[in-house]
Structure 1
Amino acid sequence: MFSMLDGLTGTKTPRPPQPGVWAPMPTFFLPDTEELGEPRMCTVLLRYVLTWKTNIPTFRRHMVSMAEKKMGIVVGGSMGEAHHCTPAERILLVQEARQALDAADMTDVPILAGTGMGSTKATIELTREAVNAGADAALVIASGYYAGAIAGDRKALKKFWMDVCEKSPIPVMIYNYPGASGGINLDSDVIEEIGREAPNSCGVKLTCGDVGKLTRICATVAVPSFAQLHPRDTQTPFLVLGGFADFLVPSVFARGHGAIMGLGNISPRVLVRCWELAQEALRDPTALEAAQQLQDLAARGDRTIALAGISGTKELLNRLYGYGGAPRRPLLPLSATEGQELWDHENVRALLNVEMELEAEAQRVHEKQ
């Protein structure tokens, strides 16, 4: 009998996450069943299901396209509707991501896999399974189910990430997203303490939108003395990443390391160019104006699209590329009217116009090579 473990790539060569801009991959479901695929036979460990009719090729195609455009890859994050996926589905997506990248000759591209679960034990177990599927680092959010009990318990919150870091065979990134964790919102002191005391921690994603917190953390972890006093198990500094596109350029000047943004699925060229120009502006101030112009577009577009949620991102993917589909219920797709309003919104049009210009420019460069 076929085993889902057959062909799992594992992680033989370390591929730690690096500074830059990252896109959390959406999960694409079959339209009639909301499944990743239709089951054919049960397999390994009473958990995994081999599938035949799937939307996995769409997932693989989109992810490779993002990686080709220099976006980092996150699988099983909030944009990927991880909370609405089974553990088996989440592992399958990591496996397919690694295989797709390897097949596209992008074996050096790391995969950051969302592995947060309800308990510390379940989170560690899923993280270990993700390693076997090809994950290079784990993005871990706290469960919000018992937020009433632990949101104000600094000791419990810190111990959660310390325990996961200790037991994880791959680096662990803290995912601070109050909107998806029952309001749990780590302060900068706790995040810095984890960074100092857990050598297997590799950074934090701040989807709290607190730019002051980002600046404070960078002031601690992004200076040379931090790395000297607190050496890491990972081959990368403790990364401080934003969770939106609206502070990308300023974060560079605060010593930030980039961002993980759902907008990356819609405008990867704009965000990569914005990041590159911001980096250049550190050395050459004349690049700052161009970086700010793209930052303005991204900030306005990000807010407009973020207000439409996962459904809005999938609606735009449908219109841009012919795939995206609907989210898994209870999330609902946008209505026809809502979808048209989003598509026609001046912030979206302005952003996509520049995205298309940069895409055409990239195609011209490619054709000359």
Structure 2
Amino acid sequence: MSPLTNGVSSANGQVSRPLRPGIYAPIPTFFLPESEDLDLPSFETHIARTATAGVGPLIAGSMGEALHLSHAERATLIRTARKTLDGVGLTHIPLVVGTGAGSTRETIELCKEAAEAGADYAIAVISGYFAGVLGGHKAGLKAYWTEIAEKSPIPVMIYNYPAACGGIDLDSDIISELAVECPNLCGVKLTCGNVGKLTRVADIVSGSDFASKFPRKNKNAPFLVLGGYVDFVVPSTYANGHGAITGLANVAPHASVKLFELSVASLNDASLLPEAQRFQGILARADFTIAKASIAGTKYLLEKLYGYGGVPRKPLPPISSDAGQALWDHPHTQDLIKLERELSGKVKAR
């Protein structure tokens, strides 16, 4: 059983769906051709597909083109996702929602709106527009997440993504200090891909005395250290990490979850480590290849595999047909698809 399939429900005002180690996917936002309005049926189908495989959904993240969404559209997606999960019997699976915006004020506003729409957790990236000022301003960086955590009605995760933030890259000291000082912070997503940073932060927050010395505001929201790619789940597990939030889980949810489960199980049964390493190799190669095609490439693969995906919202361009076919035909992609089909038991995709 996946760690994401064991939760509780509660009618009180606290988080009723615990945040657990595992695999999460930043869910794409699908758009109707021509109008670019939200394609909610495809969104619902994809939420159900990934969640039933054991993948936790992250709504309105980078893969979800949050920058292209209005506040109202974000709320619609959250409500739709919650309704979809509940409709397929996955009432225990939490919703993590991207709330990062250009200002601290708007980010807090988005956190409040997300909570009202049904989000359980928020994840906030800092804007890179003023990276020239903020990048080397430790106090300013800490103040951003500190204030958000203080004022958000739901726990907040730090999102460290230098490529989307003008190069702003939080070091392990800043992240660790925030974890200690902000009881409403529930983790960090490291899309910087820095395994050493993950090791240093995980060593602090996974210590036996961290929870007692620095208790979280909500007991169901521990501080998780999550990779931003699936290509280092095995080493992350052995460094006391907690899984990953990975775009690849949209394409291969069963394989991504199985990799995490094998990695965790191998801690107690060393005979499973070779199989975990085999999975890691296949997924790491696919992650390297598919990530370079970005959002458009992932949507292309979903279209090929499942019949939905479409293209990004303008001005983000679609992938060309030649580049898309090359991505599909790439041996790294095909190895991943073969593994996913073996695990899911599904017939050959079109």
User: Smaller-chain TM-score range?
Assistant: over 0.9
Contact 2:56-2:94 at 8 Å conserved across structures: yes
Question: Any unmatched runs of 5+ in structure 1?
Answer: 1-8, 37-54, 363-369
Paired position in structure 1 for 2:45? 61
1:359 lines up with 2:344 in the alignment? yes
1:297 lines up with 2:282 in the alignment? yes
- Give the alignment partner of residue 306 of structure 2, picking from 317, 321, 332: 321
1:114 lines up with 2:98 in the alignment? yes
- Structure-2 separation of matches of 1:168 and 1:83: 20
AA aligned opposite 1:95 = R
- Structure-2 separation of matches of 1:189 and 1:180: 21
- Structure-2 separation of matches of 1:60 and 1:13: 23
For residues 199-227 of structure 1, the C-alpha deviation after alignment (integer angstroms, 9 at most, x for no partner) is 00000000011111000001111111111
For residues 294-317 of structure 1, the C-alpha deviation after alignment (integer angstroms, 9 at most, x for no partner) is 000000000100000101000000
For residues 91-128 of structure 1, the C-alpha deviation after alignment (integer angstroms, 9 at most, x for no partner) is 11111111111122211110000001111110001100
Give the alignment's TM-score, normalised by structure 2: 0.94
Paired position in structure 1 for 2:185? 201
Paired position in structure 1 for 2:264? 279
1:165 lines up with 2:167 in the alignment? no
Q: Percent identity?
A: 51
- Give the alignment partner of residue 202 of structure 2, picking from 199, 214, 218: 218
- Secondary structure in 1 aligned to 2:345? helix
User: Relative to structure 1, is the Cα distance of residues 60 and 12 closer, same or farther in structure 2, using a 3 angstrom cutoff?
Assistant: farther
Contact 1:10-1:132 at 8 Å conserved across structures: no
AA aligned opposite 1:279 = V
Supply the RMSD in Å over aligned alpha carbons.
1.5
- Secondary structure in 1 aligned to 2:158? strand
Alignment of 1:139-288 (within 5 A): 139-234=123-218, 235-288=220-273
1:349 lines up with 2:319 in the alignment? no
AA aligned opposite 1:59 = F
User: Relative to structure 1, is the Cα distance of residues 19 and 284 closer, same or farther in structure 2, using a 3 angstrom cutoff?
Assistant: same
- Structure-2 separation of matches of 1:361 and 1:254: 34
Paired position in structure 2 for 1:41? none
Give the alignment's TM-score, normalised by structure 1: 0.89
1:18 lines up with 2:3 in the alignment? no
- Structure-1 separation of matches of 2:29 and 2:81: 11
- Structure-2 separation of matches of 1:155 and 1:12: 30
Contact 1:16-1:137 at 8 Å conserved across structures: no
- Give the alignment partner of residue 338 of structure 1, picking from 307, 316, 323: 323
Paired position in structure 1 for 2:295? 310
- Structure-1 separation of matches of 2:108 and 2:313: 25
- Offset of 1:10 from its aligned partner? 11
User: Relative to structure 1, is the Cα distance of residues 361 and 63 closer, same or farther in structure 2, using a 3 angstrom cutoff?
Assistant: closer
- Structure-1 separation of matches of 2:28 and 2:37: 14
- Offset of 1:329 from its aligned partner? 1.4
AA aligned opposite 2:299 = K
Greater shift after overlay, 156-165 or 233-242?
233-242
- Secondary structure in 2 aligned to 1:224? coil
1:74 lines up with 2:76 in the alignment? no
AA aligned opposite 1:169 = P
Q: Following TM superposition, where does structure 1 have runs of at least 4 consecutive aligned residues deviating by more than 3 angstroms?
A: 9-13
- Give the alignment partner of residue 28 of structure 1, picking from 27, 30, 38: 30
Paired position in structure 1 for 2:3? none
> How many residues are treated as equivalent by the alignment?
336
- Offset of 1:361 from its aligned partner? 8.2
- Structure-2 separation of matches of 1:114 and 1:253: 28
Contact 2:19-2:222 at 8 Å conserved across structures: no
- Offset of 1:13 from its aligned partner? 5.2
- Offset of 1:12 from its aligned partner? 6.4
Paired position in structure 1 for 2:8? none
Greater shift after overlay, 101-110 or 289-298?
101-110
- Structure-2 separation of matches of 1:178 and 1:133: 29
